[in-house]
């Protein structure tokens, strides 16, 4: 399946405006090593042998990001039943990630990318139009990586509501 925009109808007015990187199925997923909410380093290589949903979100404990994270939390058993785990990445500091995790009972890793290197490598950071203004920021995106480290699905500019259910269905967890 090709990288694509999530075409679900929405009232969100965010759209991308630049030609940033877009990962495609079959490509090797960019390697990363980032601190988790406890300050421990987590790498993509740690998940070798399992599929992983890597989702990118703008800011911990904001309405859309909370909806998406809690939907992943609530779908985690079904996803793990297919051999898939979940990792969330944002530019938040580890302290904010720990508070977000604890407040919402999130049991999957939340990783901090304050310099946005991994966000950029995955095409999840760049210019976007938000309510008519061009701004630079995190573009809500999800990439599914297979057990060998290759991209199997890449969704860009996704909407928080309903997104997790669509991903779960596409990977056979729904």
φ, ψ of residue 161 to 5 degrees: the values are -75, 125
Beta strands (DSSP E) in 13-124 are 14-16, 33-35, 41-43, 51-56, 84-90, 110-112
Q: How far apart are CA 110 and CA 122, in angstroms?
A: 16
Structure token digits, residue 75: 């779908």
Does the annotation count 65 as an active-site position?
A: yes
> Of 53, 65, 106, 118, which is the active-site residue?
65
Residue 68 sits at the vertex; the CA angle it makes with 125 and 18, to the nearest 5 degrees, is 20
Q: Are 75 and 67 in contact (CB under 8 A)?
A: no
The half-sphere exposure of 122 on its side-chain side, counting CA atoms within 13 A, is 34
**Residue numbers annotated as active site:** 65
């Amino acid at each position: 399946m090709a990288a694509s925009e999530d075409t679900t109808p929405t009232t969100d007015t965010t759209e991308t405006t630049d030609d940033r990187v877009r990962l495609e199925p079959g490509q090797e997923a960019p390697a990363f090593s980032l601190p988790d909410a406890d300050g421990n380093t987590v790498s993509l290589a740690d998940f070798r042998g399992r599929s992983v949903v890597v989702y990118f979100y703008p800011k911990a404990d904001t309405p859309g990001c909370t909806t998406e994270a809690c939907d992943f939390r609530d779908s985690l058993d079904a996803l793990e039943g297919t051999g898939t785990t979940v990792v969330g990445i944002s530019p938040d500091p580890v302290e904010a990630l720990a508070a977000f995790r604890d407040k919402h009972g999130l049991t999957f890793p939340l990783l901090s990318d304050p310099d946005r290197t991994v966000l950029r490598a995955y095409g999840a950071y760049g210019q976007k139009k938000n309510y008519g203004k061009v701004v630079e920021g995190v573009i809500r995106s999800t990439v599914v990586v297979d057990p060998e480290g290759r991209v199997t699905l890449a969704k860009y500019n996704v909407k928080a509501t309903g997104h997790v259910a669509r991903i779960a269905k596409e990977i056979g967890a729904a």
